Amino acid sequence: MSATEQDAADAAAWYGARLGWPTAPYPASAPGQEPGTGRPRLATGVRFDVLEVPAEAGDEVLGRLPGPAAGPVVRHGARMRLLVAPGCAEELPGLLDWLEWGGVALDLVALGRGGSMPVPALPGAARGPGEPFWVRPPLARRGGEGDGDRPVPLPALAGPPGCPGHPGPARACGTGGGAPDLVRLVAALATACHRVRLFPPPGRRAARNRQAWAFS
């Protein structure tokens, strides 16, 4: 196991002890890779689900929503992963329909039960090239000195079924009162993903044009 893999394994153990986040099985080993090696992963659908979007869309949303409204956020290369309450991944298709985004091609991926994501570097720790890291960490300082850190609330569907802002009969398991509103977050993410698709950044637009020429 390399030093980077060991750091990731130590981080996974810390997330499990501090936040109760379970790890997921290692993915299948690549050719020439020893069994059980590689970067460990955190299981989704247990303590949190994930909404994954292009980093440009994520940056746009984070610039518009204050920290508590978006929940914890991980950056990994060209992708951004926003942690939401467990059960939200199952709600996403119906929520997009309710928000009138159904049928629109959005680069918005939901990871729920049975999924996983690579373990991010610990908040504030040094990280290697290409390693996932926290843009908005999962812990926040409490109000007073010496109070320690508290978990950041995860976005969830607000209120009981039938209330304004609730699109259907099911409800994601939130973190209790005061959880950020999933509807507001998904609406912002869908809009940003659609804008990035219509008006991609220059580098991505050039890559897409090269691909189009390659298949013409």
Whole-number pLDDT of residue 142: 66
Is residue 32 one of the residues assigned to a domain? Answer: no
Q: How many CA atoms lie within 13 A of 113 on its CB side?
A: 6
Whole-number pLDDT of residue 136: 95
Whole-number pLDDT of residue 68: 80
Is residue 31 one of the residues assigned to a domain? Answer: no
Whole-number pLDDT of residue 34: 55
Query: Which among 160, 120, 156 is positioned nearest to 137, based on CA atoms?
Result: 120
Is residue 93 one of the residues assigned to a domain? Answer: yes
Number of domains in the chain: 1
Query: Which among 138, 167, 127 is positioned nearest to 50, based on CA atoms?
Result: 138
Whole-number pLDDT of residue 167: 46
Alpha-carbon distances, residue 130 vs 13, 119, 133, 209 (angstroms): 21, 12, 9, 25
Whole-number pLDDT of residue 201: 77
Is residue 54 one of the residues assigned to a domain? Answer: yes
Whole-number pLDDT of residue 32: 53
Is residue 30 one of the residues assigned to a domain? Answer: no
Is residue 193 one of the residues assigned to a domain? Answer: yes
Domain encompassing residue 131: 3-25+37-140+147-214
Per-10-residue mean pLDDT, the chain, length 216: 79 95 74 61 96 97 88 96 97 95 94 95 88 94 63 81 44 53 95 94 54 41
Whole-number pLDDT of residue 165: 45
Query: Which among 125, 147, 127, 123 is positioned nearest to 136, based on CA atoms?
Result: 123
